């Protein structure tokens, strides 16, 4: 009978992390940017129907990079969590912080207990009430949760995007400027032009009442991108 072989916990975690990283690196990237009127989320996504960005609750949005099936399950579960909480308490009591924590627990558990870790990275974003601050949370494949400011990036080229945005980001962007900055960061990372048809864009619009989440349809996106083209020097 062969002896069960021993693998040190460090080795096992390292292997799992490497596996998850490889999976995510294959996926396309997502950028979330704070602008004057809210939070803009932009994903490279050739599919018009398989969304990477979604509404969770009144002021909360979700974005997932990596394996579609896996972050889709996380997304649905997040909506269930938020709706149940909002129904049991009040609408203001549903916060990105508690949702991000719940995600972090679940993803972290799967990472340490299951053989196959989730190959996903997700963003949980909340637009502030009135002039209150926005909240951007990034949750990695091992459940690590990071509280980001100004911008957050996930997916295969998250690091490149972050480097680009670190130099170029400034406060008080308009929605067009935020869109331009986000597309330019994607173009810089991929070193090729991106087309409106390959983008999925949504905003958490501070100015709206009730449900702040709004998808920007491709036609409107084209217009916005043309407008930004004119504005560019």
Partner 1 sequence: MNVSFDFSETGSSFFDLLRERGPSLLPQFAVETTERREGMPQVPMGTTVLALRYRGGAVIAGDRQATEGYQVASRRVEKVYAADEHSAIAIAGAAGPCIEMARLFQTELAHYEKIEGMGLSLEGKSNKLAQMIRANLPLAMQGLIVIPIFVGYDVRRDEGRIYKYDLAGGRYEEADYHAIGSGGKDARATMKKLYRAGMAEAEAISLAVEALYDAAEEDTGTGGPDFVRRIFPSVKLVTREGFQDIPEERVASLCEEIMTARKSAREG
Residue 43: name the closest of 34, 35, 53, 33 by CA. Answer: 53
Whether 182 contacts 168, CB under 8 Å: no
Between 81 and 151, CB nearer to partner 1: 81
Task: Give the nearest distance from C-beta 103 to partner 1 in angstroms.
Answer: 8
Task: Give the nearest distance from C-beta 119 to partner 1 in angstroms.
Answer: 16
Query: Rounded CA gap, 192 and 206, in Å?
Result: 32
Whether 138 contacts 49, CB under 8 Å: no
Between 22 and 76, CB nearer to partner 1: 76
Task: Give the nearest distance from C-beta 55 to partner 1 in angstroms.
Answer: 5
Query: Rounded CA gap, 208 and 185, in Å?
Result: 27
Between 106 and 173, CB nearer to partner 1: 106
Task: Give the nearest distance from C-beta 22 to partner 1 in angstroms.
Answer: 23
Residues engaged in binding partner 1 (CB under 8 A) = 49, 51, 54-56, 73, 76-77, 79-81, 83-84, 86-88, 102, 105-106, 109, 211
Residue 42: name the closest of 99, 125, 148, 107 by CA. Answer: 125
Between 35 and 81, CB nearer to partner 1: 81
Query: Rounded CA gap, 40 and 33, in Å?
Result: 5
């Amino acid at each position: 009978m062969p002896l069960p072989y021993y693998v040190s916990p460090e080795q096992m975690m390292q292997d799992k992390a490497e596996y998850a990283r490889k999976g995510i690196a294959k996926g396309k990237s997502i950028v979330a940017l704070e602008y004057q009127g809210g939070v803009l989320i932009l994903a490279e996504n050739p599919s018009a129907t398989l969304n990477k960005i979604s509404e969770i609750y009144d002021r909360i949005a979700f974005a997932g990079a990596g394996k579609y099936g896996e972050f889709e399950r996380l997304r649905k579960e997040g909506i269930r969590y938020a709706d149940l909480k909002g129904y049991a308490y009040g609408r203001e009591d549903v916060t990105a912080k508690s949702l991000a924590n719940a995600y972090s627990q679940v993803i972290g558990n799967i990472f340490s207990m299951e053989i196959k870790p989730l190959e996903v990275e997700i963003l949980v974003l909340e637009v502030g009430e009135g002039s209150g601050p926005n909240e951007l949370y990034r949750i990695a494949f091992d459940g690590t949760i990071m509280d980001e400011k100004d911008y957050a990036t996930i997916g295969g080229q998250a690091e490149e995007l972050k480097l680009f945005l670190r130099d170029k980001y400034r406060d008080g962007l308009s929605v067009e400027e935020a869109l331009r900055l986000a597309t330019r960061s994607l173009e810089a990372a991929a070193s090729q032009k991106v087309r409106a048809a390959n983008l999925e864009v949504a905003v958490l619009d501070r100015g709206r009442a009730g449900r702040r989440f709004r998808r920007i349809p491709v036609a409107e996106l084209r217009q916005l991108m043309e407008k930004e083209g004119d504005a560019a020097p």
